[in-house]
Structure 1
Amino acid sequence: MRFNRLDLNLLVALDALLTECSITKAAERLNLSPSATSNALARLREYFDDELLVQVGRRMEPTPRAQGLHEAVRDVLVRVDSAIAIQPEFQPAQSDRVFRVFVSDYTQMVFVPHVLALAQAERCSARFEFLPQVSNPQRSLERGEADLLIIPRGFVSPDHPEEKLYDEEFTCVVWRDSALARGELSFDRYVAARHVVMQPPGSVGDSFEAWFVKRYGITRQVAVTSYGFSSLPPMVVGTDFIATVHKRLALQMQAAFPIELRAPPLPMPAMEQGLQWHKYRTQDPGLVWLRKLLHRAARAMDGEAG
């Protein structure tokens, strides 16, 4: 099919080429030979009268024209996928669909088991891929690489619909034989302590907890950084370190490690865990089903906690 003399199949090739910045990797993504992909690039260069990708050292870099095209092309492809490729109804017990959901390790530990249990109860045959939120997961949502984000609402994109899943409180975790486990955990002791914190991988941003603490003008003494939340409670064992983590996660860890929980000595409101999806996929029957399932899982989790 052609539009303004452009073979629309070439838009898929252009998206792959600009995403991978490599003919070989784009060919693998498209399930084509490198020569066929190279030929597609030549046709695209002719149509747009631009090199699109240029060799810089050992890698290829997009031209300014290509950079301007990429998001527009991705938007078109997501619209097409949303309008045409999605089935008119979703039967969980008969589906071979793959749901790609970006989550933190904390979410996988405390929330995802409830999701999978409910999916199993419905004999769901779809597959779930839980992917790490390593850097700017909103971009993956924009590009159609993720179906859903489960993320604190303070970090959601303003460009797409979102809703609250559940609230999560924070607690402080210390080794049960440490000095911090004896007596009151005062504000001064908290500030003076050495902290174990999570730093999001591939990002210079902060976790929700660290961001909030900074709002109070507190500079904590960081002893250890980790790329995941679930590693924080075990890391305080055998030390006088302290970690501030999600309460549900800390309660799980308390059953396995010699740790104690202490209320944070500063006002710390609950985190609102949010759910976000692409605006073009609001009516996608599969995602409508999955969003409802996630809300049921949140209610099940809250009921278990109660």
Structure 2
Amino acid sequence: MTPMQLDLNLLAALDALLEEGSVAGAADRLHVTAPAMSRSLGRIRRTTGDQILVRTGRTMTPTPYAIAVRAQVHALLQQVQGVLAPSRELDLPALERTFTLRWHDSLVALGGPALLAAVREQAPGVRLRFIAESSTDNPGLRRGEVDLEANANPPTAPDVRGERVAETDQVVVVRRGHPLGDGREALTAERYAAADHLAVSRRGNLTGGIDDVLAGLGLARRVVATAPTEATALEFVRGSDLVVTAPESTTRRPVADLGLLALALPLDLRPAPVFLSWHQRYDTDRAHAWLRELARTALSSPH
């Protein structure tokens, strides 16, 4: 084995170990035995002078050094693969890869099942890791910890790409029998503002764009509580006179399942956008481009 072959093998092993967080997972990913991957980890530790992964109970935890170099290792491996096989076609049936997707919870419910079904049909060796959004700004895309984001926010970092793939109108969700939905009076901005509201915010924000629109009309609403997800918010609505305002496309199915009512929002509010975001390192990654196309279809198609 030449030094170059050894270096490339270690780079691939290190990338798999950092991606999977375990020797067994990395071995499965690279189609080698667990003992062989353990030996590779030993050589990586001797080469770098760092433990890379350390055991904490029944799991393995990456060291600070491993976390710091994770994105660089992945980018280097992608570059090497592109140099050695620049014209290689994407072989989906043989593709073995794990993608990490940080999507807003309502978008996981909306497009996640369709995306997973398409992935399993075309590339059964690909695995998807849907993870929850953070309550604080998280540079996961830039660090290589997240492959694809989906939420209502366009990217602000210059090295992060963003594509608006869908948009949806906001609706007012109430329980059946709620005074706003009894049909006796039209739902006006004044009646809407006078109700008690529950806001959906993973950060616990009590105000938002709706309040700016209401302020322009000389109105204000009272938000009595916040909920981190739409699913949780709708459970509050089921047994109370609280009002939740949420995107129509992501609440259509749970509203029907829970026997709630969705009413037209009596405000001139711009539709809520849906953005897909990814780091520029994946612009020419064929597998990533394939996943982006499937995600675009899953999120933009009627459900």
Aligned equivalent of 2:189: 187
**Deviations along 1:37-82, whole A, 9 cap, x unmatched?**
99649xxxxxxxxxxxxxxxxxxxx9xxx9xxx97x6664453243
Aligned equivalent of 1:262: 263
The Cα of 1:123 is off from its aligned counterpart by 4.7
C-alpha separation in 1, matches of 2:221 and 2:111: 29
Aligned equivalent of 2:58: none
Check whether the contact 1:236–1:242 (CA below 8 A) recurs between aligned residues: yes
Aligned equivalent of 2:292: 291
The Cα of 1:164 is off from its aligned counterpart by 1.6
Give the alignment partner of residue 80 of structure 1, picking from 70, 73, 76.
76
Check whether the contact 1:230–1:249 (CA below 8 A) recurs between aligned residues: no
The Cα of 1:174 is off from its aligned counterpart by 0.6
Check whether the contact 2:189–2:267 (CA below 8 A) recurs between aligned residues: yes
Aligned equivalent of 1:280: 281
Alpha carbons of structure 1 residues 220 and 256: separation in structure 2 relative to 1, 3 Å: same
C-alpha separation in 2, matches of 1:172 and 1:261: 5
**TM-score, with structure 1 as normaliser:** 0.69
C-alpha separation in 1, matches of 2:92 and 2:209: 39
C-alpha separation in 1, matches of 2:298 and 2:201: 28
The Cα of 1:89 is off from its aligned counterpart by 4.4
C-alpha separation in 2, matches of 1:126 and 1:230: 28
C-alpha separation in 2, matches of 1:136 and 1:84: 34
Give the root-mean-square deviation of aligned CA atoms: 3.7
Q: Residue 165 of structure 2 aligns to a residue in which SS?
A: strand
Aligned equivalent of 1:250: 251
C-alpha separation in 2, matches of 1:31 and 1:219: 60
**Deviations along 1:15-44, whole A, 9 cap, x unmatched?**
x9xxxxxxxxxxxxx967xx9899649xxx
C-alpha separation in 2, matches of 1:37 and 1:102: 33
Alpha carbons of structure 1 residues 115 and 74: separation in structure 2 relative to 1, 3 Å: closer
Give the alignment partner of residue 213 of structure 1, picking from 210, 215, 222.
210
Structure 1, unaligned stretches of length 5 or more?
Answer: 2-7, 17-29, 42-61
**Deviations along 1:83-110, whole A, 9 cap, x unmatched?**
1367854322222200111101100111
- Percent of counterpart pairs with the same letter? 22
User: Which deviates more from structure 2 when the two are superposed, residues 236-245 or residues 146-155?
Assistant: 146-155
C-alpha separation in 1, matches of 2:157 and 2:72: 19
* Letter of the 1:188 counterpart: E
Aligned equivalent of 1:198: 200
Report how many residues are paired: 250
Q: Residue 145 of structure 1 aligns to a residue in which SS?
A: coil
Aligned equivalent of 2:121: 121
C-alpha separation in 2, matches of 1:81 and 1:191: 55
Check whether the contact 1:102–1:137 (CA below 8 A) recurs between aligned residues: no
Check whether the contact 1:106–1:249 (CA below 8 A) recurs between aligned residues: yes
C-alpha separation in 1, matches of 2:250 and 2:50: 50
C-alpha separation in 2, matches of 1:198 and 1:150: 17
* Letter of the 1:226 counterpart: A
C-alpha separation in 1, matches of 2:223 and 2:126: 42
Check whether the contact 1:138–1:156 (CA below 8 A) recurs between aligned residues: no
Report whether the alignment pairs 1:140 with 2:137: no
The Cα of 1:121 is off from its aligned counterpart by 3.2
Aligned equivalent of 2:272: 271
Match runs of 1:107-118 below 5 Å: 107-118=107-118
**TM-score, with structure 2 as normaliser:** 0.69
Aligned equivalent of 2:165: 165
User: Which deviates more from structure 2 when the two are superposed, residues 282-291 or residues 107-116?
Assistant: 107-116
C-alpha separation in 1, matches of 2:237 and 2:272: 23
Q: Residue 141 of structure 2 aligns to a residue in which SS?
A: helix
Aligned equivalent of 2:176: 176
* Letter of the 1:215 counterpart: D
C-alpha separation in 1, matches of 2:101 and 2:283: 15
Alpha carbons of structure 1 residues 173 and 134: separation in structure 2 relative to 1, 3 Å: same
Alpha carbons of structure 1 residues 37 and 174: separation in structure 2 relative to 1, 3 Å: farther
The Cα of 1:296 is off from its aligned counterpart by 2.7
Alpha carbons of structure 1 residues 124 and 40: separation in structure 2 relative to 1, 3 Å: closer
Aligned equivalent of 1:227: 228
C-alpha separation in 1, matches of 2:204 and 2:233: 19
